[in-house]
Amino acid sequence: MKTKKMQVAVSVMVFLLAPFFVVSAGAETAEGAGAMDLVGMLISQLGVTEPQAKGGAGSLFDMAKGALPESDWTQVASAIPGVKDLIGAAPAVSEATAEKSDKLSGLTGGLGAVTKAVESANTFAAVNDQFKQLGLNTDRVSQFVPVILSFTESTGGEQVMNILKSVWK
């Protein structure tokens, strides 16, 4: 008898909670759709593989995230659902590249414009390193950028595109 009551109680709980699980799963699918649309564009326009598209876009978005004020990054992230997943797909910067960047940054500390130029060069060196790890020539970075900017304009408008353009100039 207790088993029957327990089965009824579980069935009622599942029935009552099911809508919450469906909504949650739908939100994840919708969030990944934006990123996957961009990945599809990169694959079709540049002839790269899915891991290369995800990792390459992720490395560029990670660069932008690090360079932008939080308010600007929030606009970008909300225009491209799933961008966090793309950043997660980017390979880690190699230890050798990270060490070189640290040494250069240490040498230029306090030199104003020179420091900014070195920081920018270090950031692109990291992206180039990530592209190499994905099996992509570093020239491909310049091919990814216009595709991502076009996609961003279509999903977030000209303002969001210009935010990214300011980082990738």
Token code pair at residue 116 = 């900014």
pTM exceeding 0.85? no
d(CA 168, CA 142) in angstroms, rounded, equals 9
C-alpha angle 115/148/164, rounded to 5°? 35
Question: How confident is the model over 5-33, as pLDDT tens digits?
Answer: 545 444 444 444 444 443 333 333 344 56
d(CA 5, CA 53) in angstroms, rounded, equals 52
d(CA 12, CA 71) in angstroms, rounded, equals 44
- The closest alpha carbon to 58, from 42, 78, 72, belongs to 42
Question: How confident is the model over 68-122, as pLDDT tens digits?
Answer: 999 999 999 999 999 999 999 999 987 654 444 444 444 445 544 433 433 444 4
> Are 123 and 45 spatial neighbours (Cβ–Cβ below 8 Å)?
no
Give the residue-averaged pLDDT of 130-145. 95
